Amino acid sequence: MAAPPRPRFFTPREVAAHARPGDLWVSCLGRVLDLTALVREHHGEPCLRPLLEAAGTDISHWFDPQTHDLLQRVEPRSGLRVPGGGRGPGVPPPTPRSDWVPPRGPPWWRDPRYEVGRLGPPRRLRLLNALTGQQHLLEVCAEETLAEVLGRSLPLNAHAGSYSWRRPGAPAALEPGGRPLQPGGGPGGPDLDLDADLDPPPQPPALLLHFNDDFTEL
């Protein structure tokens, strides 16, 4: 049986970048949700206001960490337990109404269609190009693999795949495989200890890029 696909990781900064009209992301309980289609479907409805105000932020405080459902409160007039705050489409109203119909599918926070990845703790990483002497500071997630860091570096250097990646002082090149960068992330240990940046030292951890042959044009 094939292993399930590895989730993509996003930093809080990347989530915050999706807070524009027609592009709404949020994070909650470690997940990243793209609610753009949900907002488009319910355009103009008052129930969207809490989501629009929370665009690009983490809304974990809306939810019970045990049940992963919305926190509830007691409605004073009815004595019923209802989700607090009216958090988006499909949430029951605070008082019974004959015109409210429960949604057929799962609520938006449990709908797998909206989940685009996981929220990762951000870490800073320096990329040092031994050929050109250039240095770039990259923000990555601790759970990412070296292959995913390579993908993040391509906007800075489209030929980064033609380099050998090494840790300073290490004799062998790092293989862009599937081991997460964080300590204890997989068999054989991490490719790079990014947790050293939790209490930022004078310089973030570094990777040296040594040029091989440029086959990226082929």
CATH of the domain at 160: 3.10.20.90
Average pLDDT score, the chain: 80
Q: How far apart are CA 131 and CA 210, in angstroms?
A: 6
- Does any domain span residue 4? no
Does 82 score more than 70 pLDDT? no
Q: How far apart are CA 93 and CA 50, in angstroms?
A: 14
Q: How far apart are CA 124 and CA 198, in angstroms?
A: 9
- Does any domain span residue 1? no
- Does any domain span residue 106? yes
Q: Quickly list H helices, the chain.
A: 12-16, 36-41, 49-53, 146-153
What tens digit of pLDDT does each residue of 31-80 get? 999 999 999 998 888 888 889 999 999 999 999 899 898 887 777 776 66
Torsion of CA 50, 51, 56, 57, to 10 degrees: 50
For residues 32 and 115, is the Cβ–Cβ distance under 8 A?
A: yes
What's residue 163's pLDDT?
84
For residues 126 and 154, is the Cβ–Cβ distance under 8 A?
A: no
For residues 70 and 29, is the Cβ–Cβ distance under 8 A?
A: no
User: Is residue 75 located within the same domain as residue 100?
Assistant: yes
Place of tokens 């470690």: 30
Q: How far apart are CA 80 and CA 75, in angstroms?
A: 5
Token readout for 29 is 């309980």
User: Is residue 86 located within the same domain as residue 100?
Assistant: yes
Of the listed ranges 60-74, 80-94, 102-116, 162-176, the least confidently predicted one is: 80-94
What's residue 161's pLDDT?
81
Distance of CA 137 to the CA centre of its chain: 19
Nearest Cα residue to 6 out of 100, 151, 131, 117: 117
Number of structural domains in the chain:
2
What's residue 202's pLDDT?
63
What's residue 25's pLDDT?
97
What own/partner pairs with CB < 8 Å and gap ≥ 24 does 189-193 have? 191/145, 191/146, 192/125, 192/146, 192/167
For residues 160 and 154, is the Cβ–Cβ distance under 8 A?
A: yes
Place of tokens 């997940």: 31
Does 188 score more than 50 pLDDT? no
- Does any domain span residue 2? no
Q: Which backbone phi and psi does 155 adopt, to 5 degrees?
A: -65, -25
What's residue 56's pLDDT?
96
Domain around 89: 9-119
Torsion of CA 193, 142, 123, 181, to 10 degrees: 40
- Residues 191-206 have a mean pLDDT of 61
**Which of residues 41 and 90 earns the better pLDDT score?**
41
User: Is residue 21 located within the same domain as residue 69?
Assistant: yes
User: Is residue 95 located within the same domain as residue 126?
Assistant: no
Domain endpoint, select from 80, 97, 119: 119
pTM for this predicted structure: 0.79
